[in-house]
Chains A and B, each alone.
Chain A
Amino acid sequence: MNQSARAVTAFAVMAALLAAVGFGQSWSVALVIMNLCLISSVMAMGLNIQWGYAGLFNAGVMGFAALGGASAVLVSHPPVTQAWAAGGLDLLIGVALFVVIVAAGFFVRNRLPAGQFQRVFMIVVVLVGYWVGRGFFASAVDAIESVDPVRTGFLGGLGLPIIFSWLVGGLFAGGVAWLIGRIALGLRADYFAIATLGISEIVVALLRNEDWLTRGVKNVTGLSRPVPFEINLQNSDWFVRMIERFNARTLAVAPDVDRQQMLTQLVIEGSGIFVKLCYLGLFLAVTLLILGLCVRALNSPWGRMMRAIRDSEDAAAAMGKDIVYRQRQVFILGSAIIGVAGAMLTTLDGQFTPSSYVPLRFTFLIWVMVIVGGSGNNLGSVLGGFVIWFVWVQAEPASQFVLSNIASWFGEGSGFAQWLLDAAPHMRLLLMGLILLLVLRFSPRGILPEYVRETR
């Protein structure tokens, strides 16, 4: 089977699976899965740029996704003016001091003569800066966090439409990736993996504990939306009329007494689906945009160069390519895309919960997506995002179903039966590992393998 027939078949199977969920369970569930599939696809494309194009083992996907999520809060949440009044000035002084210290550090490093004297000076600058900056910072944090801690207790955001945060999330993640790239790129692959794993843990720890910035574990709920709220739809005439027209036939046969009640019911259901469809449209647009850009990038001379670097750094370096610079570039780009996906996810959730960021779900699951979909193939990553998210979500009810059937043979209430039922939610971890290992072993190029142009 050639490349495109393979892709068409794979996506057709995926569509059939989603349709089966739609008819079997409900369209609402199918749409929820599809939205998250699209977000997963974007994340997988971001990681694919790093791993598939350039061979960088980024084990810190979680950190970039969390940064994207935080940007959704910082962009869309209305600013908490009391908090700014209480601690804003001190905070700004703290930040300014931090900038001064960093500048002083660079000055010492670059301008002073190297040697013992420089080293001592550096330590003095850092320690004094830390001591002074910390004072301002601590008082600012205390002041901010004591402003109505039940509802706010943080600075809030800019109060802009949340959709801007998708861009900002990309910029945030890209910026942090630049920083990480400066430290960690150029290390051998395993070290780079460990370094990124560590940094992502730190990023999430910061978001979880710096209450003044993101409210920490108190979470930020009720974020604004780029799409209408269900309740507003239910109260607007045009929507009710649209639902009425859609279901004209069912309504016509219903007896007069029930008609109004039935319509209300349909409007409530319809509003949920309508909102999800709106999200679907937005996410689909972003996915297609990023997919298009990625495909173009991969087929461009730049993409060829990246693959050359991946396949042999030495050969590429001999051709005059700056390996570390290019790797940093690709690392920033991929992380930015992951950041966009992170912001999209928080937008969809409508809330930011730092404690939900765990490496298995946000780093290693994305890895499974890329490997299973086909590393180096953008469409493959999209497919991987769909397939793996689908399996991840559906594995739980499926194993619940299978195991409860097995359990019923042993009789309800027996210890073994109960144990089986408790085990059901964790089956999907086992399944994911199994899928990853099987694909890696028997089809290491994934469902949609990387397209290699033959030259003769």
Chain B
Amino acid sequence: MTDFINAFVLLSNFVIIPALSLGSQLALGALGVTLVFGVLRFANFAHGDLMAFGTMIAIFITWWFQSLGIGFGPLPTALLALPFAIAVTALLTIGTDRLVYRYYRRVGSAPVIFVVASVGVMFMLNGIVRIFIGPDDRRFADGERFIVHARTFRETTGLAEGLTFKLTQGITIIVAVVVTIALFWFLQRTRMGKAMRAYSDNEKLSRFSGIDPDRVVLVTWIIAASLATIAGVLYGLDRSFKPFTYFQLLLPIFAAAIVGGIGQPVGAIIGGYIVAFTEIGVTYAYRKFFIYLLPESFEPSGLAQLVATEYKFAVSFVILVLVLLVRPTGLMRGKVI
């Protein structure tokens, strides 16, 4: 019995909790991608760099608060900085829409031209982030580090395995849940949310019904900026901030959005967790886990790791390809908000 509990604790420690927090981060990112896709109808290649931009602003405000001596008690100061960072990032997305995307909307360009334009935006954001904060790795989490510490867990329960639950992981999961609920409430219950869904469903019909397309697009960009900033800050708190890593997050985020059914918010969330659980699940070495569970003679000799950690990007991609082959619309029958 103890072996069984130990195995479970081990699994939670190294697979379930990390995957839950990574999944939440990816889900928030994928929600942004999926909203932009649903309303503006293109895959935004600049989303990863948008996340990096939002996080960079949050880091600057965090530093400023820290220099003023403002803290958030046991919680990281970055959470206090988050609303301000969201505001700045929203201004940025609105600005890029005005300067870049609006023109192509007016002309009625093909979606792929929007994608090329988003590559241009991606380059520029990439440059801006590197110019302002540099390409290096930065950690900006402060406050308490753990909710549950491995040693205290071992001492209180008397188990051999320790359970670590980082504060940032807890915050990530809670914030993700709150944000998702708020977003769904907005989309389902408010006038604007309904207008957005109508616009996404059928653009022409929604125009005839008196929905102002410019307002819908504006709100979409504000939401996308908020989601990107929140996802970026949570990822940065949980791990660390590095511009290149954020660029690379694009792939698992796209995978999550497509797996769930692009344009489908529920799908994006499910997709985020699917990608995170498979990614961490198949790259974890199960050796110790099996040692707890199996009788001695069956113990694995190797690491019992399905895929080497270096290939975690490949994992999200393989999921993507499988979904595209088997069910191209994604799990949730995509393309309506």
Contact = CB atoms under 8 A, between A and B. Distances in A.
B311 interface: yes
Interface string A436-448: 1100110010000
B320 A195 contact: yes
B320 A198 contact: yes
Nearest to A429: B127
A201 B320 CA distance: 14
A28 interface: no
Given A57-B112, A441-B103, A430 B311 contact: no
B221 to A, nearest CB: 17
A436 B120 contact: yes
A46 to B, nearest CB: 17
Interface in A399-456: 422-423, 426-434, 436-437, 440-441, 444
Interface residues of A, number: 43
A358 B123 CA distance: 13
A208 interface: yes
Contacts of A198: 251, 254-255, 313, 316-317, 320-321
A189 B130 contact: no
A189 B120 contact: no
Given A193-B43, A433-B122, A433-B127, A201 B317 contact: yes
Contacts of A101: none
Interface in A177-222: 183-184, 187, 189-191, 193-195, 197-199, 201-202, 205, 208-209
Contacts of A429: 123-124, 126-127, 130
Nearest to B306: A130
Given A429-B124, A433-B127, A193 B115 contact: yes
B173 interface: no
Contacts of A364: 119, 122-123
Given A183-B321, A189-B111, A190-B112, A434 B124 contact: yes
B310 A430 contact: no
Given A202-B314, A205-B310, A205-B314, A437 B130 contact: no
B116 A440 contact: yes
A263 interface: no
Majority DSSP secondary structure for residues of B touching A: helix
B121 interface: yes
Contacts of A359: 247
B300 interface: no
Given A190-B43, A209-B308, A426-B135, A433 B123 contact: yes
B313 A201 contact: yes
Given A201-B251, A429-B124, A436-B120, A423 B131 contact: yes
A360 B48 CA distance: 13
Contacts of A434: 120, 124
A428 to B, nearest CB: 7
B95 interface: no
Contacts of B130: 423, 426, 429
Nearest to B243: A426
A280 interface: no
A294 B122 CA distance: 30
Contacts of A428: 127
Contacts of B316: 198
Contacts of A387: none
B175 interface: no
B258 interface: yes
Contact of B120 (A201, A426, A440): A440
B328 A437 contact: no
B32 to A, nearest CB: 15
B325 interface: yes
Interface in A7-48: none
B324 A191 contact: yes
B278 to A, nearest CB: 14
Contact of B115 (A57, A202, A422, A430): A57
B235 interface: no
Contacts of A175: none
Nearest to B252: A198
A201 B310 CA distance: 11
Contacts of B324: 183-184, 187, 191, 195
Given A195-B324, A197-B254, 16 more contacts: A187-B324, A190-B37, A191-B258, A194-B254, A194-B320, A201-B313, A201-B317, A202-B311, A358-B244, A429-B130, A430-B123, A432-B123, A433-B121, A433-B123, A436-B120, A437-B121
Interface of B: 37, 42-43, 45, 100, 103, 110-113, 115-117, 119-128, 130-132, 134-135, 244, 247-248, 250-251, 254-255, 258, 308, 310-311, 313-314, 316-317, 320-321, 324-325, 328
18 contacts: A55-B112, A183-B321, A184-B321, A187-B328, A189-B110, A193-B115, A195-B320, A198-B313, A198-B320, A201-B251, A201-B313, A201-B317, A423-B132, A433-B121, A433-B126, A434-B120, A437-B120, A441-B103
Going nearest first, the 10 A-B pairs with the smallest beta carbon separation are A433-B123, A430-B127, A433-B124, A429-B127, A198-B317, A426-B130, A436-B120, A190-B43, A437-B120, A423-B131
